[in-house]
Structure 1
Amino acid sequence: MTCEFDSEMVERDEAIELMDRSDGTGVRLWHRTVPYSDDYVAVCVELSADGMVASMRGLILDYVAGRSLPGFISSLERDFAGWQGIRTWESMDHELRIEARHSTLGHVQLDWSLCRQSSESLSWTATVVTYLEAGEQLRQFAAAIHRFVLPDDAEDRR
């Protein structure tokens, strides 16, 4: 069994893009703001794959409590040697969900899902899958997420 792996992570100003060049799958986080208090940030998220693009603006992330996105990604980085089962993280309003699996081939599979629930009859869910090498790529991604969500705290992480 072979595993094709050709992903890259790009940081551009105030955005992070995680793209798989082999199939065009991508995740983009951009436009971080602090809308309410220092305990929350809002971000825009876009998922894309093979002719599909789904995006949401103003997703609220709690970055102080134990369920922060930087904390979740950092926990994957710390356990780079592997874990059993699926680890899950969700944004505060459950609009963005990430499921992480560790493969025996030394990669981490991240399933990114955006979900819009509406009181009307219009609801949708979009999911894309990205892969990162469990060592250096995952470390770089964890550092980029930390810098993006907590830019004032980036120096403290070193």
Structure 2
Amino acid sequence: MASPGARLDDRPGVTVRCRENPSVDVTFCDRLSFDTDSVRYAVELRAPGLTARVDEVVAWIWDSDLTTFLEELAAEYRGWDGERSWQTNDRDLTVSAVFRSRGYVGLTWSLQPWPQAAGRWGASVTTWLEAGEQMTSLAADVRHFLTGEQP
């Protein structure tokens, strides 16, 4: 479930908690306006035994953005076949989505900073959300976070 609101440092953020295991979550935080064409933010993944963070994920205004991808998934609340995916232009954040019977969407959030560098690393977690209202709420929360608008 998406939980917008204040974090410990009082900066706005969005947390996506897994419906099936609330100890698994993804947090978008530390949003900074980069310039008129982009925004920089951090993404944190957490699960039992795992904490991973990328500090400089960049969303380009002219690019197909994460909110559009999430809105399209929410609009298809009755489901789809196969896997759908989205990634940042730099490929440091990838989101894959699958639809499961009884109206649940599995979102696998993968971080892989510096994909071409030696010593690179990667981490991923999967959150399960209800296909309708929870996906719609998540898309709206992420849009507000990335644009800097108040919900």
Task: Report the TM-score, using the length of structure 1 for normalisation.
Answer: 0.84
Residue aligned with 1:70, SS: helix
* SS in structure 2 at match of 1:101: strand
Task: Specify the alignment match of 1:73 in structure 2.
Answer: 70
The higher relative CO (CA closer than 8 Å, separation ≥ 6) is in 2
The alpha carbon displacement at 1:147 in A equals 0.7
The letter of the residue matching 1:78 is A
SS of the equivalent of 1:124 reads: coil
Misfit runs of 4+, over 4 Å: none
- Residue pair 1:77, 1:134 contacting (<8 A) in 2 also: yes
Match of 2:31 in 1: 32
Larger radius of gyration: 1
1:45 corresponds to which letter in structure 2? V
| Pair 1:42-2:65 in alignment | no
One-letter code aligned to 2:42: C
Question: Alpha-carbon deviation of 1:49?
Answer: 0.8
Mapped to 2, the partners of 1:25 and 1:32 lie a distance apart of: 22
**Cα 1:32/1:84, change in 2 over 3 Å:** same
Match of 1:89 among 69, 86, 98: 86
1:105 and 2:114 are equivalent in the alignment: no
Corresponding letter in the other structure for 2:59 = L
For 2:89, the aligned partner's letter is: M
Identity of aligned residues (%): 28
Aligned twin of 1:130? 127
Structure 2 stretches lacking a partner, 5+ long: 7-11
TM-score, normalising length: structure 2 = 0.87
1:139 to 1:119, Cα distance in 2 relative to 1, 3 A: closer
Number of aligned positions between the proteins: 145
Match of 1:10 in 2: 3
| SS of the residue 1:48 aligns to | strand
1:4 aligns with none
Unaligned 5+ segments in structure 1 are: 1-7
Shift of 1:55: 0.2
Greater mean alpha carbon deviation, residues 45-54 or residues 115-124: 115-124
Q: Which amino acid aligns with 1:110?
A: L
Q: Are the equivalent residues in 2 in contact too, given 1:23–1:50 (CA < 8 A)?
A: no
Specify the alignment match of 1:3 in structure 2: none
CA RMSD of aligned residues (A): 1.8
Change (3 A) 1:83 1:63: farther
